[in-house]
DNA sequence: ATGTAATTTCCGATTAATTCGGATGCGTCT
DNA sequence: AGACGCATCCGAATTAATCGGAAATTACAT
């Protein structure tokens, strides 16, 4: 009662902790009170209270004494995707594209300043590549990301760069803001983006943005082994097909039912 | 201080509320403090505190004054799926199956007493059917679910039935526990399950469970329009292909790298 | 443009709710 | 059987959430 310390604008500690625990449940792929308590350095009776409370929500299950995150995450994510109009329109086009080219096709959207893979079609190598729907990457490291970035407002671009920086993924990743800005201008002029060992060595990508009334909804890209993409004619062919798909989706988005 | 009411085993109210708000953010597809406050009937200064706290976690984004659930859900769900060994092994087999049959192939697992679609392959009608990866259904209403249910222990079956009941989806859904038990015995004997307008009118399914050492990992099914599945020869052919896939996956699961 | 309404954000004392030590119960391994 | 580890339960102390109200910001209408 003597020394009252005024704390301005603190997060609700209970909320913070609840989500820390949720996150750990995910990362540990399920756990009990003791395990979590050790990680967070809090008494396990406290963790127990949290885990039981979490179990009362739909987000956590308790099975045979182990607490795990529930299928509700799959449901939420599934619906996030399913109610995304771009996904709905892009999915059949992507399938066609993957059948025609035999390559891996990806659909990426921007969320919170990072690129999130919303969908992939084709490419049996998809699994081994370590990219999967839901995976997120910095926007500047990959063609799909740059295609989106180029279509954002100058303010938003700066905001994202400030917040996220220009982390290098490989030695070819663009880490200089000036160079990135220049390339974005080029992308705006050309209408498509490419990358080349910037995200993963040995892999490249061609991508086009999907925009409706100056707003970018996402981008579609074709993943190609670097050596194959050096064939200019092949690259031109892929770009051609991409732009056709881009056009179809854009038109359907605006005028479709 | 006078009347101390002993409350036994209450959930942490802050946790409960945080997740209520999270859930609303999802269901409303983003909202501000006032909107949430109205739904929950709490002062919006309180809701504001929660929303700001949630924003500090990776689960909620704030953009232009609107709070929305973040792409982290997509990431979590994506990885849940990606690290599921059954999914990894089943995916290429499912693709092959869908190419051979032209039908929609589904992979379902049991989580928390309900069936969750982990993956789908093929079937352009998939989108219009309203089934999508992440969607969950009661186990007793569909062949994939019954195939799993049949392989669970008697105790677990009863537990699930007690907890979830036998909700009817169509007039063909099995709602009598006795009849369900009988059918499960039949499924155990036959090694496969079928349904027929039980989940959606006009749609049927043939499904086989994937089990390893008496533990059921999930099930794979083929969705077929009811009228087409009445062709016995066709049905036998599909079953044949399903069992081949079942066998491949089981062997790879046990002996694969 | 300008004023007005609606919403978001901020603050701090009150009070309800979280916390944590310790005690109990349960399952498992030796 | 005994002992250990872990989950679960309990209740009093005290921390931390709460909510009214005020200020700031944004949105809207004229």
CATH number of the domain bearing residue A221: 3.30.450.40
Asked if residue B2 is part of any domain, the answer here is no
**Strand intervals (E) in chain A:** 60-63, 66-69, 104-111, 114-121, 136-138, 193-196, 203-212, 215-225
Any idea which nucleotide's C1' is nearest the CA of A43? C20
Regarding whether A81 and A20 lie in a shared domain, the answer is no
- Mean pLDDT of all residues in B50-71: 93
Regarding whether B49 and B104 lie in a shared domain, the answer is no
Q: Does residue A183 have a pLDDT over 70?
A: yes
Residue with minimal CA–C1' distance to C11 is A8
Say yes or no: Cβ of A10 under 7 A from any atom of strand D.
yes
pLDDT the model gives residue A128: 60
Cβ neighbors of A225 (< 8 A, separation 6 or more) are: A202, A203, A204
Regarding whether B132 and B47 lie in a shared domain, the answer is no
Regarding whether B235 and B152 lie in a shared domain, the answer is yes
Interface-testing mutation among A10, A16, A17, A18, with chain B (most B C-beta atoms within 10 A): A18
Min CA distance, B233 vs chain A (Å)?
30
Whether the CB-CB separation of B200 and B169 falls below 8 Å is answered with yes
Pick the closest to residue B140 from B104, B115, B111 (CA basis): B115
Question: How far apart (Å, rounded) are the C-alpha atoms in residues B74 and B78?
Answer: 6
Which two tokens mark A17?
Answer: 């902790």
Regarding whether B203 and B131 lie in a shared domain, the answer is yes
pLDDT the model gives residue A2: 37
Pick the closest to residue B140 from B162, B167, B107, B120 (CA basis): B167
Question: Measured between CB atoms, which of B57, B80, B92 is closest to A16?
Answer: B57
Asked if residue B1 is part of any domain, the answer here is no
pLDDT the model gives residue A130: 72
Asked if residue B30 is part of any domain, the answer here is yes
Whether the CB-CB separation of A219 and A148 falls below 8 Å is answered with yes
Q: Does residue B194 have a pLDDT over 60?
A: yes
Query: What domain count does chain A have?
Result: 2
Whether the CB-CB separation of A77 and B135 falls below 8 Å is answered with no
State the residue range of the domain holding A214. 77-255
Question: How far apart (Å, rounded) are the C-alpha atoms in residues B180 and B124?
Answer: 32
Residue of A nearest to B109 (CA): A71
- Mean pLDDT of all residues in B190-196: 93
Whether the CB-CB separation of B240 and B77 falls below 8 Å is answered with no
Distance, Å, B159 CA → C3 C1': 64
Say yes or no: Cβ of B42 under 7 A from any atom of strand D.
yes
Say yes or no: Cβ of A49 under 7 A from any atom of strand C.
yes
pLDDT tens column, A110-136: 988 899 999 998 776 555 667 889 999
Domain-terminating residue out of A21, A37, A70: A70
């Amino acid at each position: 009662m003597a020394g009252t310390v005024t704390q301005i604008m603190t997060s609700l500690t209970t909320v913070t902790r609840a989500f820390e625990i949720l996150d750990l449940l995910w990362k540990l792929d399920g756990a009990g009170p003791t395990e979590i308590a050790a990680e967070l350095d809090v008494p396990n009776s406290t963790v127990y209270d949290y885990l039981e409370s979490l179990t009362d929500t739909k987000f956590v299950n308790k099975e045979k004494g182990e607490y795990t995150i529930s299928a509700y995450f799959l449901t939420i994510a599934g619906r996030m995707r399913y109610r995304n109009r771009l996904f709905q329109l892009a999915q059949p086009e992507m399938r066609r594209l993957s059948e025609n080219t035999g390559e891996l096709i990806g659909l990426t959207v921007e969320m919170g300043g990072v690129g999130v893979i919303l969908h992939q079609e084709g490419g049996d190598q998809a699994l081994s590549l370590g990219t999967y729907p839901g995976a997120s990457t910095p926007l500047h490291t990959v063609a799909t990301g740059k295609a989106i970035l180029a279509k954002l407002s100058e303010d938003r671009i700066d905001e994202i760069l400030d917040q996220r920086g220009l982390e290098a993924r490989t030695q070819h990743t663009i880490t200089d803001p000036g160079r990135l800005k220049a390339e974005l201008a080029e992308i705006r002029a050309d209408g498509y983006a490419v990358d080349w060992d910037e995200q993963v060595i040995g892999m490249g990508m061609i991508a086009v943005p999907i925009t409706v009334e100056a707003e970018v909804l996402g981008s579609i890209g074709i993943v190609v082994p670097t050596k194959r993409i050096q064939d200019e004619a092949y690259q031109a062919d892929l770009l051609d097909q991409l732009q056709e798909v881009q056009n179809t989706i854009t038109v359907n988005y605006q005028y479709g039912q």
